[in-house]
Amino acid sequence: MKHTSSLSHLVGVISAQGVDGDEEKPEDPRPERKLSYPSQEWGIQLDKITAAIEAEEFDSAKEMLDRQLERTRRWTDRELAIFHQRYLDLALLTFDYELALEQAEKVLEYREDISYNTEERVLWTVGTIYTRDDFEGQDFEKALDYLQQNLDLKLDWEETSDDYAFIGAIYNFLNDFYKVEEWMLRATAKAIEEGKKVKSTWWEQLWQAYRVLADELMDSPTERDSYLQKALNLSQFLVLSEIEEKEFWTKMASDYAKIAAVATESNEDAGPVGLEAYYTIEAAYHFGLYEEAGEYKNVFSVLRVQGVENRAAMVYKEGLDLEIVERNFDNLFEYGEALYYSTDLERAAEVYEQAVDYKEDATVLQTLTNLHLLLDNFEECISFADRALNATEGELGDETDQARIKYDKGVCQFYNDDLDESETTMEELREEIGNDSDHDVLERLWNSAGQYLDLIKAERKRIQYKKDVDEAWREYEESKKRS
C-alpha cells in the first residue's frame, strides 16, 4: 500500500487545535487550573531565548535553555514548564525528535501548572512525531494513545474534522479498516458540520476501507455485499459531486465490476452481468476525461468486450487522430481488427495496409489478401498474397494458412482474367497438398483448386467459342458487303 511521506500531509492537517472565534462559547466543564503569573525576570530570560530562536541561533538558544533549567529553585513550576515548552519548539525546528519527545514529557510533568490548551497542543505534537517517516522511533500505537489523550482532554465543541481524519489515517496504516470506517465517517460528518469541503483523501480512505472489508468478508455474503454496496454508494456520490474527477469514475467502474464478479461466482447460471462497469468507463470517455493512450485503449477494449466493434473503432480513430495513441503496427492492427469485425471492410483494408507499412507481418498480409478478394480488388489481392507468402515477420498459423493464401491468390488471378497464372497457382497448390492428405481443410482446398482448374478449362472454351462466333459473324458481314 502506497502512502505519502507523512500522515500530516495525507490528511492535510496543519493543526487540530481549532480556531478561536468571536462567538460566545459554552462554559468549560473541566476543573479550573490556578495558574501563577510568571515573574518579570523570567520574562526577560524567555525573551532572550525567543530572540535567539527567531535569529536561528539555535546553539545559543539551547545553551540558555539548559542554563535556566538547571536553576530549578529559581523558577516556579509554571515557568519551568514554559521553558521546556520553548525547548520543545526548538527541537522541532532542528528536527531533533528524540529531544522533542523528551521535552514534551517534561512539559506534561507540570500538567496542573499549564493551560489545557498547552497540554492539548503538546499531546498533539507528540502524537504527530510518532507518525513521522523520518523518525526512527515511529510508533503508530503510541501515536494513537497520545492523540486519544488529546481528544479526551479537548472540549467536545473544539474537536475538529482534522482530529478525526488524522486518527483514521493512522488506523489506515495499521490496516484496521473497521476503525478507518469509524473515524473517517466521523471526520466527513464533522467537516460538513463545520461547513468545510470534505478532503478527497478522506473519501478515498473511506472507500478503500469498504473495499478491503468486502474482500475480507468473502465468506460472509451478507456483510460482504453490504460493504460492496457502501463502496458503490460512495463512488456514485463522489462522481455526482465531482463529475470531472476521473479517479472517482474509475472507482465506480471498479465497484460495479466487483459486484458483478461476486454475483457471477454466487450464481453461475446468471445471465450477463457487469455491463454497468463498461458503461461507466465509456461514459467517462464521453465526458472527455481521458487524455492518455492507456485510457483510450481501455475504453476500446471495454467496447470490444461488449461486441460493439463500430464504437470501439471510433474511439481508436479519435485516439490516433489526436495523436494520443501512437501510430504503430500494434495499434493500427487493433484498430483494423475492430473495423473488420464491424464489417467496414474497405476501411479495415486501408488501416491494415497502414499497419504493414510498419511491419511486413504474414498474418495481416493474409488478412489483406482475403479482404481484397471479398472487395473484388483482385490485383491488390494477388499482390498481398505474394507478400504474405514471402513475409519476413510474423508467423502463419499452420500449413493450412499457406494453402489458403495460395488458393485465394489463384481465385483472384482467375477473376482478374489471368487464367494461365491462375492455372499455374492451382496446379502448384494441388501438387503441394497431394491427393492423399488426411487434413480436412487441405483436402477441401485440393478439391476446390481442382474445381477451379475445371472452370479455367471451361472458361477457355467459352472464350474460344466466343472468338469463333465473333469471327464467323465478321466473315458473314464481310461476305454480305462483297455480294
pLDDT digit string (tens) for 173-185? 999 999 999 999 9
Give me the half-sphere count of Cα atoms (radius 13 Å) on the Cβ side of residue 133: 10
Mean pLDDT over 273-278 rounds to 80
The tally of domains found in the chain comes to: 1
Among the residue ranges 37-41, 218-222, 355-359, 396-400, the one predicted with the least confidence is: 396-400
DSSP summary character for residue 440: H
Mean pLDDT over 430-452 rounds to 88
116, 397, 418, 426 from 434: Cα distances, Å: 100, 20, 24, 12
pLDDT of residue 2: 36
Binning pLDDT at 50, 70 and 90, where does residue 397 land?
A: low
Among the residue ranges 227-241, 264-278, 326-340, 452-466, the one predicted with the least confidence is: 264-278
Q: Under DSSP, is residue 340 helix (H, G, I), strand (E, B) or coil?
A: helix
Q: What percent of the chain has pLDDT over 90?
A: 78
Q: What angle do CA 211, 213, 219 make, to 5 degrees?
A: 115
The x, y and z cell numbers of residue 271, run together, are: 445471465
Mean pLDDT over 111-116 rounds to 92
Q: For residue 336, is it within any domain?
A: no
Instruction: Give rounded-to-5 percent helix, strand, coil for the chain.
Output: 75, 0, 25
- Residue 361 β-bridge partners: 393
Binning pLDDT at 50, 70 and 90, where does residue 27 land?
A: confident
Q: For residue 213, is it within any domain?
A: no
CA torsion angle for 450, 455, 460, 463 (degrees, to 10)?
A: -170
Q: For residue 233, is it within any domain?
A: no
pLDDT of residue 3: 34
Q: Which residue has the higher pLDDT, 425 or 1?
A: 425
Q: What is the domain extent for residue 150? A: 45-155
Q: Say which CATH number the domain at 69 has.
A: 1.25.40.10
Q: For residue 84, is it within any domain?
A: yes
Q: For residue 147, is it within any domain?
A: yes
- Is residue 185 within 8 Å of 179, Cβ to Cβ? no
Binning pLDDT at 50, 70 and 90, where does residue 394 land?
A: low
b/e for 388-420, b at 16 or more Cβ within 10 A?
bbebeebebeeebbbbbbbbbbbbbbbebebbe
The x, y and z cell numbers of residue 272, run together, are: 450477463
Report d(CA 207, CA 209) in Å as an integer. Answer: 5
Average pLDDT along the chain: 90
Among the residue ranges 215-219, 422-426, 434-438, 447-451, the one predicted with the least confidence is: 434-438
Nearest residue to 186 via CA among 207, 172, 206, 213: 206
Among the residue ranges 17-21, 209-213, 287-291, 293-297, the one predicted with the least confidence is: 17-21
Residue 270, pLDDT > 70, answer no
Q: For residue 131, is it within any domain?
A: yes
Q: Which residue has the higher pLDDT, 470 or 212?
A: 212
Mean pLDDT over 67-87 rounds to 92
Report d(CA 230, CA 207) in Å as an integer. Answer: 8
Nearest residue to 254 via CA among 210, 319, 306, 309: 210
pLDDT of residue 355: 97
Q: For residue 6, is it within any domain?
A: no
pLDDT of residue 269: 53
The one-letter amino acid code at 49 reads I
Mean pLDDT over 312-337 rounds to 96
DSSP summary character for residue 113: G
pTM score of the predicted model? 0.74
pLDDT of residue 72: 83
Residue 258, pLDDT > 80, answer yes
- 12 dihedral zone (left: phi>0; alpha: psi -120 to 50; beta): left
Nearest residue to 181 via CA among 173, 193, 172, 190: 172
Mean pLDDT over 58-67 rounds to 93
pLDDT of residue 22: 45
Nearest residue to 162 via CA among 8, 13, 347, 55: 13
The x, y and z cell numbers of residue 286, run together, are: 464521453
Residue 372, pLDDT > 90, answer yes
- Residue 393 β-bridge partners: 361
Mean pLDDT over 272-284 rounds to 84
Nearest residue to 295 via CA among 243, 244, 354, 247: 247
Mean pLDDT over 226-246 rounds to 95
Q: For residue 228, is it within any domain?
A: no
Nearest residue to 479 via CA among 463, 468, 471: 471
DSSP summary character for residue 22: S
The x, y and z cell numbers of residue 78, run together, are: 509554571
The one-letter amino acid code at 427 reads E
Helix axes 329-341, 345-358, angle to 10 degrees: 170
Report d(CA 120, CA 97) in Å as an integer. Answer: 18
pLDDT of residue 481: 80
